Structure 1
Amino acid sequence: MIITDITTFPLRIPFAPGTDSADAAWGPKGLKAVDSLLVRVTTDEGAVGWGESFGFIGAPITGEAVEAAVAPACVGQDPLRIAPLMHDVQRQLHVFGRAGPLMHGLSAVDIALWDIAGKAAGMPVHQLLGGGRSADLPCYASLDAYADPDLVRAAVRRAIDSGFVGVKLHEKEFREISAARDEAGPEAALMVDVNCAWTPHEASAIAEKVRPLGLTWLEEPVWPPENFAGLAQVRSAGVPVAAGENVSTQLGFQRLLESSAVDFVQPSPAKAGGVTELSKVFTLAALHNTPVMPHTFYDGPGLLAALHASAVLATPETMIEWRYFDLEAQIYGDALTVRDGRIRVPQGPGLGLDPDPDVISAYLIR
């Protein structure tokens, strides 16, 4: 079996009628739709695997990276030799950077190869990884950015009433964070992701202010994200810190963990190297007694990759991030949902689900 084709599918799915996005931290103000990038790998024997890269405004750049660099390095190779192929492609392309679009694109291809491997073996990816211990996993709702206490309260209430075990905000002001805690109550897990907003000094001061709110974690409080010493400084203020979505490769995570910078580490399978690197990070984090909270702010194969790896390797603290957006359509339709705060790990071969072809056709950016 050899890889014969790698094709990208950029999707743009609008928010459902009657909903609107505020000033999103990860995209332009007034975001009206969400861009995703799916990647399909096909073999000479007709096997098909699906992967996903982190999307939003970076989707076109990553698509170009896949088509110009990653795909030519993979076509003609054995799709079942995943680890050596990914190692060889990383070495071949390292001169262009070890993070960003090339690694995001490589992540998508890696996920697709695991999908093919599972389908070829007739078993789900979690069995290839050693056998899943969990049929389902707890989920928290990862909210849009609202910058309005009333909108935050409404979103938090809806998520809690829907059964989510916790809520993550993308807010930077104390009034919104405090409103969320008031609405969620003292027992619910409450996380805040500020997307690398502050200097270590600013972040430490804000950490002191929010400490009485009992956050489960403060996520990526420091700019730049590779300032691990700055993260450690914020952590010393007494608020748990989480980071890692902007780290790639095993060595990057080793440096993060050795810096004692985080209470929770957040590898992103659609950014950091796919299932192959995600599995390594779980093992590395266990050696540092640090729980893994996969970054999965996407809805497609990247999310499934995290589910399968977590089913095998997660600790009891691990929660799955569910992007709590009101989109017109979901990549898997109704086949992947959260019920009573938990998400089932697909049990079919490979990732267990293929993207809905009608959704791809309707929302493909042509």
Structure 2
Amino acid sequence: MKITKIEAFQVTMGNGDGWMPKSAFVRIETEDGAFGMGEASPMLGGYASLVVVARDLAPALIGKDVLDHAILVDRLFHKCVKLGPEGVATAALAAVDIALWDLKGKLFGQPVYKLLGGAWTTSLPCYSSVGGNAARSVDEVVREVEARVAKERPAAVKIRWDGDRTRQDVDIAGDIAKAKAVRKLLGDGFPIGFDANNGYSVGGAMRVGRALEDLGYDWFEEPVQHYNVRAMGEVAQRLDITVSAGEQTYTLQAVRDLIEAGVRMVQPDIVKMGGITGMMRCAALAHAAGVELVPHQTQPVVGHLANLHVLSTLMHLSKPVELADMWERGSPVFVNPAEPKDGRFHLPSAPGLGVEIHQEEFDRRAVLVAQ
């Protein structure tokens, strides 16, 4: 089956405001009209990755056989390797890869998880990922977490800081006070993660990490700058709490570097590094190294469903699936946004990813990136 058209769209989501107002989608179509949908990282609207898709990847895909998927992906990676490979190019490739998997599932009449080898479960618990806490008071953090737990009924909670990355160790005492208040709210034994969003020096991370250990937190995410792999590894090796990293890691080799540095929970994102193919390779790497794979995932539909298909195939799934802020923004454009039911995500059984589109609304909100 030959590829005849590739389109790249930037789409306004929700009300077009907030921390992530636009998303980046790719549509790959074959000669008989079948199509697959993919998603790229939405950082800065995802526009740069969409340009790479439209200008560099799409021409190389026209006329190619969909079932030559692995060859196509590797050729495209090396075609654009001098653009990174970390960042824009691999996010573009992730969108293409996800679209190809969606398309193959439709062509074979099977959900993607079947093509990946089958699902251990099609019902996965979620964790509420609560952002923006650097700017909140202790009481405001507690109210926000309390509201999300009541609405989403998660199996765990992660509190995120989302602070100014040009400043370190801004309010360590205040951060610890917020962590204590959330523990008091949720009670002993409730699983909680703490995402520093790269906010500390090594010394600051050690101080906060020790406090989190005393409070019984389950993981400490990206305590130092993500690009300082040595520092991340030092913190991971010196603390007892699980230190996680990898949401800003774009290649399998970079994930390996984190593991070799001492990180024991890796969190690559399916719309940033290699799509479904890349995430399955990460799963094999994590399994071989004996570390946890807990992907970062903030997108409300296409990336979310792709992530669920991969996670359903993992034998030792150690943590719930991330449910970030503003997941409701997918509902005007898609029939099935990332809405949990009784604290769980339920994987579609339809062919491909199971994405359902409100086509008129999609067309109204979409801007086509020209080749």
What is the TM-score of this pair, normalised by structure 2?
A: 0.88
Which deviations, in whole Å up to 9, do the C-alpha atoms of 1:4-53 show, x marking residues without a partner?
A: 2211221222459xxxx9xxxxxxxxx36522111111111211000011
RMSD after superposition:
2.1
For residues 105 and 124 of structure 1, the distance between their equivalents in structure 2, rounded to whole angstroms, comes to 23
Letter in 1 for 2:36: G
1:218/1:239 contact within 8 Å kept: yes
Greater alpha carbon shift after TM alignment, 330-339 vs 207-216 = 330-339
Alignment of structure 1 residues 171-182 onto 2, 5 Å: 171=161, 173-182=175-184
Letter in 1 for 2:341: R
Between the aligned residues of both structures, percent identity stands at: 29
Relative distance call for 1:178 and 1:342 in structure 2 (3 A) is: same
Alignment of structure 1 residues 80-159 onto 2, 5 Å: 80-146=67-133, 147-148=135-136, 149-159=138-148
Pairwise CA distance, 1:156: 1.3
For residues 71 and 323 of structure 2, the distance between their equivalents in structure 1, rounded to whole angstroms, comes to 31
2:127/2:157 contact within 8 Å kept: yes
Relative distance call for 1:88 and 1:353 in structure 2 (3 A) is: same
For residues 327 and 144 of structure 1, the distance between their equivalents in structure 2, rounded to whole angstroms, comes to 15
Which residue is 1:43 aligned to?
A: 30
Letter in 2 for 1:179: A
Structure 2 unaligned blocks of 5 or more? 164-174
Relative distance call for 1:288 and 1:32 in structure 2 (3 A) is: closer
Which deviations, in whole Å up to 9, do the C-alpha atoms of 1:225-260 show, x marking residues without a partner?
A: 132221122121222111111112222222222222
Which residue is 2:198 aligned to?
A: 196
1:145/1:170 contact within 8 Å kept: yes
2:24/2:40 contact within 8 Å kept: yes
Pairwise CA distance, 1:363: 3.3
Pairwise CA distance, 1:78: 1.4
Alignment of structure 1 residues 1-40 onto 2, 5 Å: 1-14=1-14, 31=18, 34-40=21-27
Which residue is 1:295 aligned to?
A: 296
Structure 1 unaligned blocks of 5 or more? 22-30
The list of structure 1 runs, each at least 4 consecutive aligned residues, that deviate by more than 6 angstroms after superposition, is: none
Does 1:170 pair with 2:160? Answer: yes
For residues 5 and 99 of structure 2, the distance between their equivalents in structure 1, rounded to whole angstroms, comes to 12
What is the TM-score of this pair, normalised by structure 1?
A: 0.89
Relative distance call for 1:139 and 1:314 in structure 2 (3 A) is: farther
2:233/2:258 contact within 8 Å kept: no
Which deviations, in whole Å up to 9, do the C-alpha atoms of 1:53-93 show, x marking residues without a partner?
A: 11141412222121122222222221221111101111111
For residues 248 and 314 of structure 1, the distance between their equivalents in structure 2, rounded to whole angstroms, comes to 24
Does 1:66 pair with 2:56? Answer: no
